[in-house]
A and B are shown apart, each in its own frame.
Chain A
Amino acid sequence: MRVGVITFPGTLDDRDAARAVVAGGSSAVSLWHADSDLKNVDAVILPGGFSYGDYLRCGAISRFAPVMSLVIEAAGKGMPVLGICNGFQVLCESHLLPGALTRNSDLHFLCRDQEIEIVNNTTAWTSSYKSGEKIVIPLKNGEGSFQCDDNTLAELEGEGRVIARYVGQNPNGSRNLIAGITNTRGNVVGLMPHPEHAINELTGPSAQGLGFFTSILNAMVK
């Protein structure tokens, strides 16, 4: 199982994502933003960071990277794609996922251990979890407030496309406490908190993020 991890200029969590991929039982393949092929990967992760300095809008420049047109095409054919934090922002800018991530409601960057509830365990990236399972993983971003119009929100909720919600007080003003969503097909997932920073208790608050990286094996077995 080969999982590609894309590095844009300004990507920060690429090595962490690769480590988590390996810990989850797959092999990690580095992809460069200017690459013109996906090196036969079975799935792709867009890691966190500040691609292109988050200039203009988060993810707005990265969506035009050469590798993204390949990702968009592959996603359309069902390849599992996970965007974490800045990666989620890139997926929204690429229109693979609806909505947008805006400044946190208190206008500060926020780094903390966050409890989230997995509310859809049928996607390519969440099948290792039980529905309703609560996990603690790091949340760290300045623009993590998920926003969309009322129709989109009704659609996401109605189709069960919200995959994770924040538990307790809303950390950033996201609508309906949304921490992550998926596309209609369930192969593309965007998640604001960072499961790749929670793969063991030595360097993270828990090992509960690992499920995202083991789920992908289930997706392939199917």
Chain B
Amino acid sequence: MSLDTVAIAQSTPENVQPFAELGLKPDEYARIKEILGRRPTSSELAMYSVMWSEHCSYKSSKVHIKQFGDKAPKSDALLVGIGENAGVVDVGQGYAVTFKIESHNHPSFIEPYQGAATGVGGIVRDILTMGARPIAVMDPLRFGPADAPDTRRVLPGIVAGVGGYGNCLGLPNIGGEVVFDETYIGNPLVNALCVGVMKHSDIKLAKAAGAGNLVVLYGAKTGGDGIGGVSVLASETFGSGGSTKRPSVQVGDPFVEKVLIECSLEIFAEDLVVGIQDLGGAGLSCATSELASGGSGGMKVALDKVPLRDPSLSPEEILMSESQERMCAIVEPSKIERFLEICKKWDVTVTVIGEVTDGDRLEITWNGEVIVNVPPRTVAHEGPVYNRPMAQPAYIDEVNSQKVNVPMPNSAAEIKAAVLKLAGAPNLADKSWVTAQYDKYVQGNTIQAQPDDSGMVRLDETTNLGVAISTDANANWSYLNPYQGAKLALAEAARNIATAGARPLAVTNCLNFGSPEDPGVMWQFAESVRGLADGCLEMGLPVTGGNVSFYNQTGSVAILPTPVIGVLGVIQDVRTRTPMSFTSAGLELYLLGQTQEDLAGSEWAFLHGQRVGQSPTADLAREMRLIELLLEGNAFFSAAHDLSQGGLSAGLTEMVLRHNVGAVISLSNPAVDLLSETPGRVIVAIESKKNSQLQALANKYSIEISKLGTTGGDSLTINESIIALSELREVHTSTFPRLFG
């Protein structure tokens, strides 16, 4: 194909261009022509198509997610907010922490190992780009039914990809989720979270300031992988026929990324960059246009200087390639020599590809001929915005008006059977088969990891300052009531870190939904965003950033609305944390919170094929009192464990099996007490002499408490029902090996 330059574009206005194949709508194409006052060159068309994709432009979600800013609570902790690569929060002692979740759902369905691996790689570079050393990852995952043939294809590959990449980077994996539901068949969700730490003064931003400063590309060479990943893969619904789209999935090289991390941190430590951006979705198109529009707008790039793995790549392909492990920095000329030296030390390929200019146009040349001349903001930030039609789907009234009708256990034998059924259910079973493939020890600062309620890492070995993170979603509740579902997920994530003694500080999110072109899905999305924004305002927690993943649907069947909420908190001294379980006999177990008959959306209802009824209503004022109680109780609790999916039954199972210490439990209404999933409940273990202290706290914060029983023995005994720990363990731990080998 011959080179399409700006000059040619001006002289051939009538050339037919393949905008639809690149994912652009006719009106979007018309708008590009209006912005430029001519038809775009093929390179410009390539840039606009990837940057205006749903994935990059947030065109369907923008009108909704701006609530996170509009309703943001006042927070002194927020150092960098939404809009940069990741938000940054102040955690004290001069430290700042940055964290974010991103989705890599569509690539992971097509090519599970590489899709998941590059999902980890991408979010790690986002964190690095802020100037931080990445210190841990987490991975909330969702799959089709555990016994579905395609799940056996997808799950082992995704788990191996998350592990293969993260382990090789030397990042401890400290938690996540593994959830199964039939709506995720064909649409597995791979969400990856990374957290990084830096000093306040080290924060870096994506801006190209200062005319004459150099645009430097460093890291891996550019190849033909991942071309159009954001537009072809992430912004469309897959049909049943057609090509597999595998070439649109990037291929990762974690070794190159590990070297890139160390090289970048050395560069940052010597303060050698003015601005920096990683190359992820939309590759160079994104990095150059975002850096330029972060500054005054002017930038010149000689695209032919980009080092290539495949010399046959066209300029359009180079602009769209999503080859991994690349970074783009803005460097003052006086510092370039040292910059190049450090890259040489780490054997990192580095090339000066352009410079910042004092104009307001992004100009890209190919062997001297101008192939792109655009106002960068129109590419990066002024994409189309849609206020898509939305309507409450018909199913809502239908399912809300029904009542859950499931068998409830009564006799000792039935209670035992129910506890065992939940203990072995794929959503609640032991996840060691997954987590054993992840390195949780590397860096030597991991305080808590799966199966704890939250992941916790130490930031400072001298002061023992640490952070805790939890990610949660309850898609069953979100399906029944997306507004409440989002609030409840937020409350759960906050509670999960408070049980360990960490104070919630900030929120990130990964909003996974079906097609925004379906008004029902759009309504689910809008309600979820409204719920999360309202919830964050009420709990005083700022949203620091997030990610939207649409088009998670096959044909007309969308996934359950799945807003994954991540909450980060701070603990002043990690040595004081409360563990999730007890190691000795003779402790008293209490339930904080009152159990209602909340079976709608519960695991017990799910196991009986029912997704009907009304979700619980979040009481965030009460959740905040509970959090305060937990933080104060941290001083004397022997153990604390959040109750969520699987209710008290699952919570007790996890606690007794953790250190092989049983418990004797007495319940007045065992069926509901064990199976209900009323939110805002926590089991705590205390020494009996601390009894009055707990009662005083409960009174102070108006939280109901009730005694469940005592720890000890080699069984979980519930009223007359005796379950040997050995039997419970066998059921709990055999599910994953049986399913996945």
Binding site for B on A (CB under 8 A): 9-10, 12-13, 15-16, 19, 48-50, 52-55, 108-112, 138, 140, 142, 194, 196-197, 202-204
Contacts and interface: CB of A to CB of B under 8 A. Distances in A.
B267 to A, nearest CB: 16
Given A50-B255, A109-B163, A111-B438, A10 B168 contact: yes
B160 interface: yes
A48 B168 CA distance: 10
B437 A53 contact: no
Contacts of B432: 112
B259 A49 contact: no
Contact of B255 (A48, A53, A138, A196): A53
Contact of B436 (A52, A110, A197): A110
Interface of B: 160, 163-164, 167-170, 253-256, 258-259, 346-347, 432, 435-447, 458, 461, 574-575
A52 B167 contact: no
16 contacts: A9-B258, A9-B259, A10-B168, A10-B255, A12-B170, A16-B442, A16-B444, A50-B254, A53-B253, A55-B255, A109-B163, A109-B439, A111-B435, A111-B441, A202-B458, A203-B445
B347 A9 contact: yes
B195 to A, nearest CB: 17
Nearest 5 A-B pairs (CB), nearest first? A53-B255, A12-B170, A16-B444, A197-B441, A50-B168
A8 B164 CA distance: 19
A138 B441 contact: yes
Nearest to B256: A53
B642 to A, nearest CB: 22
Contacts of A52: 255
Given A53-B253, A109-B437, A111-B437, A10 B259 contact: yes
A197 B444 contact: yes
A15 B443 contact: yes
A79 to B, nearest CB: 25
Contacts of A50: 167-168, 254-255, 258
A198 to B, nearest CB: 9
A112 B255 contact: no
A185 to B, nearest CB: 30
Contacts of A15: 443-444
A203 B174 CA distance: 12
Contacts of A49: 170
Contacts of A194: 441
Nearest to A19: B444
Contacts of A110: 436-437
Contacts of B436: 108-112
Contacts of B258: 9-10, 12, 50
Nearest to A52: B255
A49 B163 CA distance: 13
B575 A108 contact: no
Given A108-B160, A111-B437, A53 B168 contact: yes
A19 B346 CA distance: 23
A10 B262 CA distance: 9
Contacts of A196: 444
A57 B445 CA distance: 29
Contacts of B255: 9-10, 50, 52-55
A203 B435 CA distance: 17
A111 B439 contact: yes
A84 B359 CA distance: 55
**By CB atoms of chain A within 10 A, which of B256, B258, B442, B461 has the most?**
B442
A12 B446 CA distance: 15
Contacts of B346: 9
Contacts of B160: 108-109
B575 to A, nearest CB: 6
A138 B438 CA distance: 12
